Structure 1
Amino acid sequence: MFPTRFVVLALLLSSSASPAIEPPWGPAKNLGQRMVLERTSLCTDGKGHYVSATPTPGMSNVQFFYGDGKRFMQIPLAPNHIWIPSGAFLDPRFENPEANSDVNGSGLDLRPYSRVKVDTKENTCAVTCGRRTTPFTLVEPARAREVLLQAAYEASPQKYAPHALLRDSKGVYYLVEKSTPGSGERGYRVSIGPRGQLKPQRMLNVVEDSKGEIFSTRGGDLQLVLDREQPSFWVVKKRRRELRPVPVEQNLLLIYNELGVYTGARLGTPCDDL
Structure 2
Amino acid sequence: MTALGRTADGLRAFASDVAQGFFEITHNGFALVGLATVFCAITLTARPDLRQAGESKLMSWLQARQVAAVGMPIELDAIDRATAANPKDLPKQQAAVAYWLSKKYRVAPEPLSALVAEAYDIGKREKLDPTLILAVMAIESGFNPFAQSNVGAQGLMQVMTGVHKDKYENFGGNLAAFDPVTNLRVGVKVLQECIQRAGGLQAGLKFYVGAGNLGDDGGYADKVMAEHARLKLVSSGRAVPLPPPAVIRTVAPIEPPAPALEEKIATVS
Q: Give the structure-1-normalised TM-score.
A: 0.24
Structure having greater relative contact order (Cα 8 Å, sep ≥ 6)? 1
Higher Rg:
2
Q: Which has the higher helix share?
A: 2
Q: Give the structure-2-normalised TM-score.
A: 0.24
Q: Which has the higher strand share?
A: 1
